[in-house]
A and B are shown apart, each in its own frame.
Chain A
Amino acid sequence: MIDPGPTLTMATTADGYLLVLALVLPVVVAVAAPLVGGRRAADLFLLLIPAGLLVAVGIVVAVVRADAALLYLLGGWAPPLGVALRADGLSAALLLTSALVIGMIGLYARPAFATPTGTKEARAPLAFWTLLPALWGGLNAVFLSNDLFSLYVALELLTFTAIPLVCLDGRAETLGAALRYLLFALVGSALYLLGTALLYGAYGTLDIVLLAGRIGTEPTALIAIALMTVGLLAKTALFPLYLWLPPAHAGAPAAASAVLSGLVVKASLFIVMRLWLDLLPGLATTWGAQLLAALGAAAILFGSVLALRQARLKMLIAYSTVAQIGYLFLMFPLVAAPAMAGLGGADALTGGTLQIVSHALAKAAMFLAAGLMAEALGHDRIAGLGGLGRALPLTLATFALAGLSLMGLPPSGGFLAKWLLLTAAIVAGQWWWALVMLAGGLLTGAYLYRVLVAALAAAPEPAIRYRPIARWRELVPLVLAVCSVLLGLVAFAPVDLVPIGRP
C-alpha cells in the first residue's frame, strides 16, 4: 500500500534556503582551509561562528513560525528522484545546539591551535581548522538529511573528520585510540549500509517520509532495521559497544574531546531516533525498545560506577559520557506513553531531546574545563587537583555548574529532561526505568563530588606553580555551562519546539 500523499505536498518551503546555508557555509570553510593555510583558516572559522549561529537561530525561528518542518528540494526534484533537506523541530534544536557548542569550542581552541609565530605552517593547526568546519558540516548534514543514503554519507563525513581529531598530537597512544575508533566505526558503517541496501531492495526508496508510508513489520524490514541500529549503536558507544570511547575521548585534545563527547555520538543516536520513531513508530512498543532501554540502563549504572573508579579526570568524564548516553536510550520504550499533564503536556521525546541538548552543553563545558585544569597543572590526576579552587575558581565553577546539569538539579536542562523522562516512565507504568534514572543521578553526584572535593582541597605543596590561564578562556566553557543550567527555563517557552513537523 503506497501512500502518495507526501510526494504531492513536497515542495521547497519559504525559508528552505537556510538549510542549504547551514550545509554549505561550514563546508566552504573546510574546503578553503587547506588553500589559505592554518593561520587564515583559524580567522575564517572565527567568521563562520556568528554566521553559523545566525543560520541556526534562523532555522529555529522559521520552524516555530511556520509550525511545520522546513523543506528544500535540491534542484527542485522531489524524492525519490531528487534529494531533500528537511528540518523539523528536533533537527532545528540539534542544529542550534551544535552551532553553540562548536562555536564556543572554536573560540576556546584558538590559542591551543594557533600556528606558532615564526613558522609558516604547522600540521596540527591546519588539520584542526580544516576538520572542525568539516565536522560541523557533517553534523548539520546528519540533522538535515531526509533519506537513509544521505544519512549514511553524512555519517561517514562525520566519522572521518572525527577520527583524525583524536590523534592530532600524533602520539602512539592516541594513534592507537584513533585506530580502534576507526575500525569499530567502519564495522558500524558496514552494518548500516547493509541494512540500507536491504530496505532499498525491498521497498525501492530510501526517503524516510516515503519509506514510512510503505514499510511494515515484515522480516526484511526488521532485519534491516536491526542491522542498522546495531551499527549505529556501535558508533554511539552504547554499552556494551563502548570499547573505543574512553581512550579516544580521554586521549584527544580538550577541544576535540568536547565536540566528540558532546555532539558526535549524538549524531548516530539521532539516526536511531529517525529509524525507530519516524520510520517505523510501531517499534517503540516492541521488546526491541525495551532491549534498547535495558542497554541504556546498564550503561548508566556501569558507566557511572566505572567513572567513580577512574584516577584521571578526562577518563572520568569519558566514562561519564558512557553513562549519560544510557539516559538517551531510555526514551525509546517511553515515547509510546500517552502525552502527559504537567510541563506543557510534553512527553518522553521532548525529555530525550532535552537530555541530548543539555548533555551536549554540559559535557562540552566539562571537557573544556578539564582541559584548562590540565593545562594549568600539567597533568589531570584527580588526586593531584588540590589548590585549583583558588587557582582557577571560574573553571571549577564551570565544572560544578555542568555537573549540576548532569546530576539533574533544577533549574538545569538536565532536571527538566529527567522530570519529563521520569513522568513518562511513571505514566507508561514502567517505573523500573525511573529507579535506574534516580540511581544514576546518585552515582553521578558521587563521581562529581570526588572531583570537586579533590579540587577544593588545599594544594599538596604551597609553592606549586600553575601555568597562567587567560581569563577569557575560562569564560568560554562557563558560557556553555550556564546555558546548560538555564536550559531548564525552556519549560516556560510558549511552544514546544521538538514535536513540530513530526508525523
Chain B
Amino acid sequence: MNEDNAWLLVASLALPLAMLIAGLVPGWRRHLSAWLVVAPLPALAAALLVVEAPPLVLDEAGLKIGLALDQPGALLLGVAALLWSAAGAYAWRYLRGDSSEGRFVVYWLLSLTGCLGVFLAADLVSFYLFFGLVSLAAYGLVVHDGTPRARHAAVVYIALAVFGEACLLLAFVLLAAATPGESLLIRDVVAALPSSPLRDQTLAFLLLGFGLKAGLLPLHLWLPLAHPAAPMPASAVLSGAIIKTGLFGLMIFLPFGAELPGWAWGLTTVGLVTALYGALIGLFQANPKTVLAYSSISQMGVATAILGMGLALGEAAAVLVAAFYAAHHVLVKGALFLAVGVVAATGRRRLWPVLLPTAVLALGLGGLPLTGGFLAKLVAKPWLDEGLVGLVATLSAVATTMLMVHFLRRLLANLAVEPMNRAPLGLILPWAGLAVAALFVPWVLYARVLAAADPTEVLTMAYLLAAAGPVLAGLALGLILVRWGNRLPPIPEGDVGVWGERAVRATFAWGRPLARLDAVLRQWPAAGLALLTLALLLGLSMLGGP
C-alpha cells in the first residue's frame, strides 16, 4: 500500500504551493484564509499511509533529489499537520478585520510548505531549501503585528536564522565533500560522516545550525522574543511545529551508532542544562506567551538530552523516543498558545470550561498521570535514568510543573473585562479539537508506533506513583510561588540576549573605519599607489607556491 500512495508526499507540498499560486489572483486572496485548515491535510494523510516507503527520487543516476518519510519523520509530520490545520482554522477567525491578512496568509503558506518539507526531504539540497524557506518565511509571521516589539523580535530572529543557515550550508558542504560518489541523500552522507576527516567540524556546524532553530542554550535568545511577538496562531505553529525542524535535523543528521563519546556527553549536557534553564527563567516572566516560549526551550532540551543519551549508547532507537516526546509537545504547546487567545476573549464567569482542559494539558508537560505527557515522560525515562542525568531530568519535570502553575496564574491575569464574555466559536473549536488531540493522540501513537501493545498496560500503580511524585512536588512549589512569587525580579525576554544585542551594536562601529578607508582608496594617489604595489606583489607572489 505504501508505494501506491507515494504521490501523497508530493501532494503534501503541492497543495500549499497551489494555494499560494491561487493567492496571486487578486479576487481569490481574500478567501484564502478560510482554506488554511485544509492545506496540511495531504501531509496528514501521507503521515498515516506512506511511512517507510522507498524514497521518491527525481534523478536516480545523478544527484538524487527527492522526498522520503521514515517513522520518526512521519510521527512529527502527522502531528505538525494536525497543529497547522487547527491553527489555520483558528487564524481564519483571529485575522478577521486585519488589513494585512493577505500578507499573513502568504507567509503562513510559505512557512507551512517549508515546515512540512523538512520532514519529507530525502537529500541535502531539498532539506536546505525547505529549512531555509520555513526560517525566512517565519519572519513574516513574527513581524506581522508591526509593533516596535514585534519588529525588534523579528530583526533578532532573522539575523540569527540567517546565521544558522550559513552554519548549515557549511555543514552540508562538509558532509557532501566527505561522501564517496555523487549521492546527496541524507542517509548516504550521514553514513559517511563518522569516517570524515573533518567529522568534528561538521558536527559542530550541524549542532550550531540545528541547535539555534531548536532553541538550545546558548542559542535560544531569539526564541522568547519571537514566539510571543507573533499573532496567536502563528505563535502556536512557531513554538509547536517550527522549532521541531531543528530537533528533527539533529535526529536525522547525528550518526547514531558511531563512537562519539565526547559529542554524546556534550549534547546530553546541553540538553539538560537547557531543560532546567528554560523552566527556571520562565518563572520570572509575566507574559503568559513568554512563559510558554521558555517552556518550549526547556522541552526541546529534554528531547535533545534523549538524543544525546542515544548517541552515548549508540542506539538509534532514541530517535523514535525523542520524536514521540516532541510529537506530544507539538500538540500540547499548540493547544496552550491557542488557549491564551481563547482565555483573553473569555470573561470571568465563563472561565472554567476553558481553564480546566488547559490546566490538564499544561500540567501534562510535567508528566501528570493519564495525560499524553505522562506517556512521553514514561517513554523517555529509560533513556534519562542514570545517576546525575536522572536527577536533572526529574528536577526539570518539577520545574516544568512549577512553570505551568505560573503560566496558569499569568493566564488569569489576562481575562476579558466583561465577565459574561464568551470567546467566538471560530477560536474555541480549533482550540478544543487540538486539545482533545493532545490528550488522546499520544496514546494512539504509543500503541501503534512505540510499544505496539496494549497501552493500558502502563496504567499500573507503580508507574502512576512514580509519575505523580515530581508533579506533586512541582504543584506544591508552584503554589508557593503563586503566593509569594510577585517578589521575583523580572528578567527581560531573551535573558542573556540583551547583552548579546549590546555587543552586536558595539561591533557595528567597525563600519566607520572602513568608510574612512573607502574615502582614502577612492582618491587618485591612493589608487595609483595601490595599482603599482599590486603589480609588484603579484609579480613576486607568482614565483612561489604554498
A contact residues vs B (CB 8 Å cutoff): 184, 187, 191, 217, 222-223, 225-227, 229-230, 233-234, 240-243, 246, 283, 285-288, 290-292, 295, 302, 305-306, 308-309, 340-345, 408-411, 418-419, 422-423, 426-427, 434, 438-439, 441-442, 445-446, 449, 491-492
Contact A344–B63 (Cβ < 8 Å): yes
Give the docked Cα–Cα distance between A344 and B180 (Å): 13
Q: Is A423 in contact with B177, judged by CB distance below 8 angstroms?
A: yes
Judging by beta carbons under 8 Å apart, are A291 and B62 in contact?
Answer: no
The docked-state distance in angstroms from the alpha carbon of A448 to that of B425 is 42
- Contact partner of A286 (CB less than 8 A), chosen from B177, B517, B544, is B544
Q: B546 is contacted by which of A222, A225, A290 (Cβ under 8 Å)?
A: A290
Interface residues of B in 479-531 (CB under 8 A from A): 510-511, 514-515, 517-518, 521-524, 526-528, 530-531
Query: What are the residues of chain B within 8 A of A340 when measuring CB–CB?
Result: 177
Q: Using Cβ atoms and an 8 Å threshold, which residues of chain A touch B129?
A: 410-411
Given contacts A240-B526, A288-B541, A419-B169, 6 further A-B contacts (CB under 8 A): A187-B531, A222-B539, A286-B541, A410-B125, A418-B169, A434-B173
The answer to whether A341 and B182 touch across the interface, beta carbons within 8 angstroms, is yes
Interchain CB contact (< 8 A) of B531 among A234, A308, A449: A234
A240 adjacent to B177 (CB under 8 Å): no
Q: Are A243 and B542 in contact (CB under 8 A)?
A: no
Q: A288 CA to B510 CA in the complex, in Å? A: 29
Interchain nearest-CB distance for B153 vs A (Å): 14
A241→B529 CA distance, assembly (Å): 10
**Interface 0/1 of B152-164, CB less than 8 Å to A:** 0000001100110
- The distance in angstroms between the C-alpha atoms of A449 and B136, with both chains bound, is 11
With A243-B522, A286-B542, A340-B177 known as contacts, the answer to whether A230 contacts B534 (CB < 8 A) is yes
B59:A492 contact, CB within 8 angstroms: yes
Tell whether, in the assembled complex, residue A309 and residue B511 are in contact, meaning their CB atoms are under 8 Å apart: yes
B161-188 to A contact mask, C-beta < 8 Å, 1/0: 0110111011001101101111010000
In the complex, which residues of chain A have a beta carbon less than 8 angstroms from the beta carbon of B541? Answer: 286-288, 290-291
* Separation of A273 and B199 alpha carbons in the complex (Å): 34
- Assuming the A-B contacts A225-B542, A287-B541, A342-B179, are A230 and B531 also in contact, with contact meaning beta carbons closer than 8 angstroms in the complex? yes
Closest chain A residue, CB of each to CB of B517:
A302
Interface of chain B residues 339 through 371 with chain A (CB within 8 A): none
With both chains docked as a complex, state the minimum distance between the C-beta of B542 and any C-beta of chain A, in angstroms. Answer: 4
Chain A minimum-CB-distance residue to B513: A305
Q: Which residue of B lies closest to A449 (CB)?
A: B158
B535, CB-defined interface residue at 8 Å: yes
CA distance in complex: A223, B538 (Å): 9
Residues of chain A within 8 A of B534, CB atoms compared: 230, 233, 240-241, 295
Q: Measuring CB to CB, which residues of chain B are less than 8 angstroms from any residue of chain A?
A: 58-59, 62-63, 65, 125, 128-129, 132, 136, 158-159, 162-163, 165-167, 169-170, 173-174, 176-177, 179-182, 184, 198, 510-511, 514-515, 517-518, 521-524, 526-528, 530-531, 534-535, 537-539, 541-546
- By beta carbon, the residue of chain B nearest A283 is B542
Interface of B is mostly: helix
**29 A-B contact pairs sorted by A residue (CB < 8 Å):** A187-B528, A187-B531, A217-B542, A222-B543, A233-B534, A283-B542, A286-B545, A291-B538, A291-B541, A309-B515, A341-B180, A343-B63, A409-B165, A410-B128, A411-B125, A418-B169, A419-B169, A419-B173, A422-B170, A422-B173, A426-B174, A426-B177, A434-B173, A439-B166, A441-B169, A442-B162, A445-B162, A491-B63, A492-B58
Residues of B within 8 A of A234 (CB): 531
Which residues of chain B are near A243, meaning CB under 8 Å? Answer: 521-524, 526-527
A344 to B128, CA, bound (A): 18
Known: A241-B534, A243-B527. A287 touches B179 (CB 8 A): no
Query: Could you tell me the distance in whole angstroms from the C-beta of A336 to the nearest C-beta in chain B?
Result: 10
Q: How far is the CA of A439 from the CA of B169 in the complex (A)?
A: 12
CA distance A415 to B175 in the complex (A): 16
CA distance A288 to B167 in the complex (A): 30
**Contacting pair B543 A286 (CB below 8 A):** yes
Question: Would B182 and A345 count as touching, CB distance under 8 A?
Answer: yes
Q: A338 → chain B, closest Cβ, in Å?
A: 11
Alpha-carbon distance A449/B534, docked complex (angstroms): 34
Interchain CB contact under 8 A, A305 and B182: no
Q: Which residues of A contact B539 (CB under 8 A)?
A: 222-223, 226-227
Complex Cα gap A340–B65 (Å) = 18
In Å, the complex CA distance between A438 and B181 comes to 25
By beta carbon, the residue of chain A nearest B151 is A453
Residues of A within 8 A of B174 (CB): 426
Q: Chain B residues near A223: list those with CB within 8 A.
A: 539
- Asked whether A342 lies within 8 Å of B535 as measured between CB atoms, the reply is no
Q: Report how far A329 CA is from B535 CA in the complex, Å.
A: 16
Q: Which residues of A contact B169 (CB under 8 A)?
A: 408, 418-419, 422, 438, 441
Shortest CB-to-CB span from A485 to chain B, Å, is 12
Alpha-carbon separation in the docked complex, A287 to B540 (Å): 9
Residue in chain A with minimal CB distance to B512: A309
Contact residue among B170, B177, B545 (Cβ-Cβ distance under 8 Å from A341): B177
A302 to B538, alpha carbons, bound, how many Å? Answer: 21
Closest to B539 in A: A226
Interface centre among A287, A291, A302, by most chain B C-beta atoms within 10 angstroms, is A287
